[in-house]
Copies of this chain bind each other. A is one copy, B any other.
Amino acid sequence: MNGPIKTMAGSLYARQALLPEGFRDQLVPEAEQEASLVRQLVDTFLSHAYDRVSPPLVEYEDSLLVGAGLTSSAKMFRIMDSNTQRMMAVRCDMTIQMARLAATRFADQERPLRLAYAGSVLRTKGSQIRPARQFTQAGIELVGCESLEGEMEVIAIAVEALKAVGIAEVSLDLTLPPLASLLCDAKGITGDDRTAVLSALGAKDIGAFNGLKDRALFEALVSATGPVDTALVALKTIGFEGEAASLVERLIRLVEMLQEKLPSLPVTLDPCETHGFEYKTGIGFALFARNGNGELGRGGRYAVTHADGHTEEATGFSVYLDSLMDALPVATAAQKIFLPFNTSASEGVRLRTEGWRTIQGLTVEADCRKEAARLGCTHIFEKGAVCAL
C-alpha cells in the first residue's frame, strides 16, 4: 500500500506524507474490505436482536477511568476541553462505554440487555505484536444474565459472526482468569511469591514452581492446558475448593453445553491464562482461525457496577478488525466498467442496478478501450453490451 510518493525533501509535502507511527491510511481495497466486514459482523449481531449503540469517541476522563477502564488509563490519549477546562480522554476500548451505558442510560431497561457496537478506538502506544494505535473494534454485550446460557449465547454468536465473514474454521480457547488468584488466596501465597506464581502460570514455566509448597497444584494446573478432551481430564483430577471449585465446575458445564450445541467447534483450555483478561470475573474466551496465527477476538464474564454499588453480571465479546483482516484472504479490487462519453444516463443506471461499478468517461476519446484500460477498468460498455477488456 506504500506506493511511490512525490516528495521534495524537507518540504511541507514530504512531511505531509508522514503519519504518526501506528496511524495509517487505509487505501483500496482494504478500506472497503474493513467496512464490509464491520457491516457483516454487525448484521449478525443485529439478527440476534442485539441493539446497536454508538457512544462518542471522547468522554470526560473520569467516566472512562472506572471499572475495566482503570487498568487502561495509560492507553488513553487526553484532550483538554476548552469549554470546561476538564480533561477528556479518547476511548481505547468500547467495552468500557458499554458498561457505562448499562449502568446509566440503560439502568432501568429490562434484562438481559443486549448491546452491539462497532467503532474506532485509539491507543497512546502500540505493542510489539500490534504496532497500530488506531483500530476498529466490533462486539456485543449481554448484560444481566447470570447463567451459563449467557456465555453460550455470546460464544455461539461470536462463532457465527466469524464464520459469516469467511473464517472457515474457528476454534475456541477457554480461560479462567480469576482462578490463579483464587488459588493463591486459598494457599496463602502473597507478596513476591504470588507475583512469581502468577507470572510463571502465565508463561507455563513449571521450573519456577520448584521449592514451592504447592508446587504439585500449580504444575497440575499447567498440565491442564490444551485440547479440551485431555485438558479437562487433567483439570478434573485437581482438588479445587470454594470459589475455585465453583468456577471450574462452571467451566466443565460450559464444555458440556458447547459439545452439545456446537459439536464441531474445536475447544482448548488454558486455565492459567490471565493476560488481557484482567477485569474478567468468570470464564474468559478467545477465538482463533484454526490455521491462522493470531487471536481474532476475545470476551468473557465481567461485572458492571451500578450507581448504588450493586454489581451486575455481563458477558461480552469483541473483535479487532485488523486481526480479522490478517486472517482473511487479501481483498481484490472491484471490477469496473467504462462508459464512453456519450453513453446514455439510463444505461448507466441499468448497469449499476445490476451491480456494476461504472466509470463515466468525462471527455470524448478517440480510443475508448485505451482510456478504459488507463482508468483501471476491467470492462467497457460498447455497442450496447458489456465487453471484457
A residues at B contact (CB < 8 Å): 1-8, 11-21, 23-32, 34-35, 39, 42, 46-49, 51-60, 62-63, 66, 77-79, 81-84, 86, 88, 90, 100-101, 103-105, 107-110, 112, 114, 118-120, 122, 124-125, 134, 145, 147, 149-150, 153, 261, 305-308, 334, 336, 345, 352, 356-360, 362-363, 374-377
- Count this chain's copies in the assembly: 2
Q: In the bound complex, what is the Cα–Cα distance between A18 and B55 (angstroms)? A: 12
Are the CB atoms of B307 and A7 closer together than 8 Å?
A: yes
Q: Which residue of the partner chain B has the closest CB to A117? A: B31
| A5 pairs with B105, CB closer than 8 A | yes
Kindly report which residue of chain B lies nearest to residue A374, judged by CB atoms: B110
Which B residues are in CB contact (< 8 Å) with A118?
35
Contact (Cβ within 8 A) A60 B19:
yes
| Closest chain B residue, CB of each to CB of A60 | B20
A110 partner, pick from B66, B305, B376, beta carbons under 8 A:
B376
Q: Which residue of B lies closest to A63 (CB)?
A: B16
Kindly state the separation between the CA atoms of A19 and B61 in the bound complex, as whole angstroms: 10
Residue of B6, B60, B360 near A153 (CB, 8 A) is: B360
List 26 interface pairs A-B (beta carbons < 8 Å), by A numbering.
Answer: A4-B107, A6-B306, A6-B308, A12-B62, A12-B66, A19-B60, A20-B59, A21-B84, A23-B57, A23-B58, A25-B53, A25-B56, A27-B105, A28-B53, A31-B54, A47-B358, A49-B334, A57-B57, A57-B134, A78-B79, A79-B79, A82-B124, A83-B125, A120-B120, A147-B363, A150-B362
Pairs of residues from A and B, 3 with the lowest C-beta to C-beta distance, nearest first: A13-B307, A31-B54, A23-B56
CA distance A210 to B252 in the complex (A): 88
Complex Cα gap A352–B47 (Å): 6
Does the CB pair A53–B31 fall under 8 Å?
yes
Cβ-defined contact, A125 with B82, below 8 A: yes
Chain B residues whose C-beta falls within 8 Å of the C-beta of A52 in the assembled complex:
28, 31-32, 35
A53 to chain B, nearest CB (A): 5
State whether A145 touches B307 (Cβ < 8 A): no
> A387 CA to B108 CA in the complex, in Å?
28
